[in-house]
Amino acid sequence: MSYRPFLGLVPLAPVDHLILPDLRQAIADFLFLPVKILPTRPLPPQTHHPGRNQYYSTQLLDYLLNDEHGEDPFRILGITAADLYIPIFTFVFGEAQLDGKAAIISTFRPGAGAGEVKPSRSLLLSRLIKLSLHELGHTFGLPHCRQDGCLMGFAANLEKLDQKKTGLCKYCLILLDDYFQSLQDL
Amino acid sequence: MLPHKKICIMVVDDELSIREAFCDWLKQDGYEVETAAGGLEALAKVKERHYDIMLVDVKMPGMDGITLLKKLKEEDPDSSVVMMTAHGAIQDAVEAMKLGANDYLLKPFELDELSLTIEKLVQIQTLAMENLILKDQIASISRFDNLVGQSPPMLSLFETIVKVAQSDATVLITGETGTGKELVARTIHTHSPRGYNPFIAINCGAFTEHLLESELFGHEKGAFTDAKFTKKGRLEMANTGTLFLDEVGDISMKMQIDLLRVLETHEFSRVGGTTAITSDFRVIAATHQDLQESIRNRTFRQDLYYRLNVIHLQVPPLRERQEDIPLLAKHFLRRYATETGKKIDGIHLESLAAMRRYSWPGNIRELQNAIERAVVVGKGRQIKPGDLPFALTSEGTEEVANLSLGEMERRHIALVLTAQGGHISNTAKVLRINRGTLYEKMKKYGLTP
């Protein structure tokens, strides 16, 4: 039987399981790719920074790549309720490997874990969809975009994240199309 | 920003995790990034090439950030340096700013701090570059002249130009730097039915993506922070005439998408505007790059290449049309002698022989500069070998054997400066030293651009 590429959604430690099916569906609809929710994996303790009480997202990407997922997903998207960081920033919403295989997002800040107004379920889902597609966009080689409202635009806070549309600008659409075309040409 | 496609940033930090984090993040922001684990490594890299922005950690083992900052400012004063220090060490940042740092960041930063700091520096560098370009454009107006040549490749090129001028097809001109690609484009325009209408040129490699977008398409008032007035773009200004896209190989992938669409429809809107504008222009593009190679490297779109490359003209380098050298040299001599009012009416045979022996890596521009210099320094009625720049005449002469190393260096720098039209960045590039070092040496030898 031939291999059909799929995207693996990997919960890292418990994540709101009610939201995962909706997120899975939204990603699949947007990218026209099958998305499977893979078994939950624990958060590796060595990626935790006690002083910051955050998890180091770059190390989590390595963990996602090296962990056994049973099948071989075309792309892996980790999702965690923990707050994430990279050393130069106070926090990150997520991280991805540019033109790589793995990405990760956190539900912590979109879910108002840092003390903002608690969002409605639909707003939380909208934020997570935007973050997931943004980080996955990086894995498809798309850099940050400066077009107004583009999904690949950089959002430094929740307000800016909420202002973004769940869609790519015409340039990023063409570049994404080029990327998939180049994969087919290989 | 300086005329290359990507802004290049170097991160200097002894911690691997910090370097990696910066590298990933800045690449996602579209920048070219290199890293160094310490001051010595950073300095070695700076000697090799120019970095637009340097992000330097203050606390590092070995050479600390402050010492490195001082050395960087000596090596490459055009590079912007941002110092990074931990919260609570603000006095380090203050000291760094006094020593010439362009900005500082306190680690760890908020998400938007880094992008804002870099964008601010890019904007400042862009303005400085625009200033240089405008000065260069003013200078080039006075150097404009017609094509000159009687060699077979040039006669063939003239024939093609006459034929091409009558059509409205897009033309792609390729050739080494200094071969006169813009002159060819202007000649096509002058001989075309559009000849009495505008010839609008833009050097695509000299602008950042956003500036180029605004230059080409224009912008509406309020489209971005500095858009205080509505401005027409070059596409609009070229209506009924010819649009010359110089260094088209340097356009970003996104701008290539826009340009392709405009070339297909001749319809566009200004930045921040919604009204569709139609403009009737002919496109002539030029590049010194190998676009086929760029297509293979995925930095140039194949569809745009086919759209531009309807008619291809290759302008030969000067070394392949040596028989034109005397003609060109006399042409420039007449011009500069008239301009300066000096009574020089000929070129000595030995000078001509030296010119024919030389390889002219800077092509016609270098020859033009050599003659201009000879006219200025020459004392007799003829240009003698001694009036020519050093490299043209000195090979194998006894004079060289008697020169000190310092004098050799002075003469060589003067030669390259002349060949590059006094352009500091280009001269430094040819000499493979950075601009800071070049300035120092020019000062030492009393040379001016």
Strands of A21-178, DSSP E? 35-37, 48-49, 54-56, 75-80, 84-85, 94-96, 102-106
Same domain, B292 and B164: yes
Cα–Cα distance, B413 to B370 (Å, whole number)? 13
Indicate if A135 belongs to the active site: yes
Distance from CA of A60 to the nearest CA of B (A): 13
Looking at the domain assignment, is residue B148 inside a domain? yes
Q: How far is B1 from chain A (nearest CA, A)?
A: 17
Asked if the structure places residue B1 within a domain, the reply is: no
Among the partner residues A89, A138, A171, nearest to B257 by beta-carbon distance: A171
* Beta-carbon separation of B28 and A143 below 8 A: yes
Distance CA B144, CA A165 (A): 50
Residues B214 and B188 in one domain: yes
| Mean pLDDT confidence for B337-358 | 83
Strands (E), B239-278: 242-246, 267-268, 277-278
Whether the upstream peptide bond of residue B326 has omega within 30° of 0, thus cis, is no
Residues of A in contact with B29 (CB under 8 A): 143-144, 154
In a domain, A116, yes or no: yes
- When scoring A46, A59, A88, A159 by the number of chain B Cβ atoms within 10 A, the one with the most, hence best to mutate, is A88
Minimum CA–CA partner of A172 in chain B? B254
Is A1 a member of any domain?
A: no
Strands B267-268 and B311-314: unpaired
What are the chain A neighbours of B18 within 8 Å (beta carbons)? 87-88
Q: What is the rounded average pLDDT for all residues in chain B? A: 84
Residue B240 sits in the same domain as residue B347? no
The whole-angstrom separation of Cα B68 and Cα B56 is 8
Which residues of chain A lie closer than 8 angstroms to B25, CB-CB?
A: 86, 88-89
Hey, is the C-beta of A175 within 8 angstroms of any chain B C-beta? yes
Q: Say whether both B230 and B166 belong to one domain.
A: yes
Of B108, B111, B112, the CB nearest to A87: B108
Which domain, by its residues, includes B365?
321-445
pLDDT band for position B206 (cuts 50, 70, 90): confident
Q: Which of 144-173 (A) contact B at CB < 8 A?
A: 144, 146, 154, 156-157, 170-171
Place B168 in a pLDDT band, splitting at 50, 70 and 90. very high
- Per-residue pLDDT band for A26 (boundaries 50, 70, 90) equals very high
In a domain, B264, yes or no: yes
**pLDDT tens digits, B414-426:** 878 877 777 788 7
Say if residue B299 is in the same domain as residue B325. Answer: no
Q: How far is B420 from chain A (nearest CA, A)?
A: 36
**Inter-residue contact B235 to B279 (CB < 8 Å):** yes
What would the mean pLDDT of B396-418 be, rounded to a whole number? 71
> In this complex, do A87 and B15 lie within 8 Å of one another by their Cβ atoms?
yes
Residue A35 lies in a domain: yes
pLDDT (tens digit, 9 = 90+) per residue, B43-81? 999 988 889 999 999 989 989 999 999 999 888 888 899
The runs of H, that is alpha helices, within B181-251 are 181-191, 209-217, 234-237
C-alpha atoms less than 13 angstroms from C-alpha of B405 in its C-beta half-sphere: 0
- Give the C-alpha separation, A183 to B226, whole Å: 41
d(CA B57, CA B84): 5
Residues in contact with A150: Cβ distance below 8 Å, sequence separation at least 6, in sequence order: A164, A165, A167, A168, A169, A171, A172
| Overall domain count for chain B | 3
Query: Do both B57 and B90 map to the same domain?
Result: yes
ipTM confidence: 0.74
Q: Would B136 be classed as within a structural domain?
A: no
Instruction: Report the gap between the CA of A85 and the closest CA in chain B (Å).
Output: 10
Annotated catalytic residue within A68, A71, A95, A135:
A135
Domain that holds residue A134: 7-185
CA distances from B373 to B12, B177, B368, B416 (A): 43, 20, 9, 12
Q: Tell me if B135 is assigned to some domain.
A: no
Least confident of A143-152, B30-39, B313-322, B382-391: B382-391
- On whether residue A168 sits in a domain, the answer given is yes
B24–A87 C-beta distance less than 8 A:
no
Q: Look at residue B1 in the predicted model and tell me its pLDDT.
A: 33
Search chain A and give the residue with CA nearest B252.
A171
Q: Are B129 and B2 in contact (CB under 8 A)?
A: yes
Task: Please tell me whether residues B82 and B158 are part of one structural domain.
Answer: no
- Do the domain assignments include residue A170? yes
The residue written with tokens 């290759």 in the block is B314
Whether the per-residue pLDDT at B323 is higher than 70: the answer is yes
Give the end of a domain, one of B298, B316, B334.
B316
Assess whether B92 and B152 both reside in one domain: no
Where is the domain boundary, B316, B344, B373? B316
Give the CATH number of the domain where residue B366 resides: 1.10.8.60
- B171: nearest Cα among B234, B248, B235: B248
Dihedral, CA of residue B174, residue B180, residue B184 and residue B189, to nearest 10: 110
Nearest CB partner across the interface for A98, out of B24, B112, B257: B24
Same domain, B301 and B336: no
CATH code: domain of residue A90: 3.40.390.10
Confidence of residue B394 (pLDDT cuts 50, 70, 90): low
Domain count, chain A: 1
pLDDT in tens, A84-137: 999 889 999 999 998 999 999 999 999 988 887 889 999 999 999 999 999 999
- The reply to whether A179 touches chain B by the CB within 8 Å rule is no
A156:B111 CB<8 A: yes
Domain boundary among B316, B347, B378: B316
| Co-location of B178 and B301 in the same domain | yes
Q: Any chain B CB within 8 A of the CB of A63?
A: no
The pLDDT value recorded for residue B311 is 94
- CATH code, B23: 3.40.50.2300
Specify if A37 maps to a domain.
yes
Query: Which range in A178-182, B310-314, B386-390 is most confidently predicted, on average pLDDT?
Result: B310-314
Cβ B298–A182 below 8 Å, yes or no?
A: yes
Is the pLDDT at B138 greater than 60, yes or no?
no
Q: Are residues B179 and B268 in the same domain?
A: yes
Query: In this structure, is residue A19 part of a structural domain?
Result: yes
Determine the pLDDT at residue B326. 85
B294 shares a domain with B340: no
